[in-house]
Chain A
Amino acid sequence: MKLLILAPLAAALHITPVVVLVKRPDAVQALLPGADAYFAREVHLSQTDAHRLHQEVDWSPEDGVLTLYTGKTGSTVVGALEFVRVDTPHGPIEVAVGFTPQGMVRGVIVTKATVETKPWVLEAVAAGLANQYRELQPGAVPHGAAAIASRAGNLAQYVAAEVDKGVARALAAYGTFYRGAKT
């Protein structure tokens, strides 16, 4: 009965249904292993830096704020982590990119997809997509989609290209605003 009452409101909102593939705390634990303290570094971009980032990777973070997370064990830095959203015509995906203290990609996890893209993401991940990004450093160009081309279908390759974009954005943000920056 409640549904019948609420049904007219169904059209009130048009939400691309997001599916959580990996919960954020699980992604944090996987990409910042052993960390027992976490810090959020919010980078409020100037217009110049926002423009530079946009030109570099065709991306402007929401509200002009980049958020990178640092994990520490005691006083030892375990690494850094960023969640990057990529909007696709099939709804947004979210990619978590973890970095080692040496500044290389430790791992990549697709944390969110949509009802439509979930099977494509799962196929791409099963084809070894996440492995393609390991040890990339800022300045490198991710080629995950091309790397899995022989093992995955067209739609998995398509969504892998979107993951590539997310990783490229994370690399640019990390390289420019985390490694070289001082708080």
Chain B
Amino acid sequence: MSDSSPTRVLVTGAGGPAGIAVLRSLARRHDVVLLAADMDRYASGLYLVDEGARFLVEPGLSETFVDSLVELCERERVDVLFSTVDVELPRIAAERKRLDEVGTALAAPSLETLEVCLDKYALAQRCDGVLPTPRTELLGASDPDSWDYPVIVKPRRGAGSRGVHLVADADALRALGEDEDTLVQANLPGDEYSVDTLADADGHVVAAVPRSRLRVDSGVSVAGATVADEELEATARKVAEAIGLVGVANVQLRRDAEGRAALLEVNPRFPGAMPLTVAAGVDMPSLALDLALGRELPDRVPFRELAVVRFLEDVFLAPSEVLA
């Protein structure tokens, strides 16, 4: 690609907070033409890009999703693809080579990194001994009498807080049966932090920005603050190294009974609360774009402590402009 030709970036999941965050960050770059895709015609992020750059795509779980996405990238001459949808990401990352063949770079961690993050049991095993990691066992392979209660029970795979709950005692744990796809994990009693983490092509962590989630509504952080805390940053760096991170991931930490930062889980994608990290000084979508384009990243990008409260915004359109 010549330097004079703008970079064409497609963002999928344009209806979600993460998609919007990426679109708004990249919209500030004058060297970028933005395209947006979602399966829902009312996805608000579609309407943050120019008419003619809005695409309806198949659901991420559809059998032909990847085929049609690769064709879309080829036809639209997409230079870099940002996927912000959990269910799509591993499927797309598995076909990174096909995207590469049509000239599209995927701005996402490697498939290997995605897989270890999306399997919370594998993640706990990978990080055990490297950093404080709560005891984690498969439900079917665990002795209910060996735990301090309450414990956390959660699906081995899956995103967000879906299916996560506290179990009060051994009898209640026994009653859950022996599902191999469910994890038992020691409950961490302390404060929780999300650390937005960006590693360069060599796996060197360029920035790790801890955020407190001061208020959460329906899984979305609606008030938060960046927190300068060496221990949180250092722990996130260790996680990034352990999972071989290249690109952006959201490392979730919680303080254990001794007050140490310990691993909860890793979401290997852009979080919806990314605008706070951007405003605090680390424009991760923009840096991730440079990384995908093979450009050198700074060795380290500092951030400042900053708080945010969030609100819904409106995009007003002529009725005819809403995709039919």
* A in complex with B: no
* Contact surface of A with B, Cβ cutoff 8 Å: none
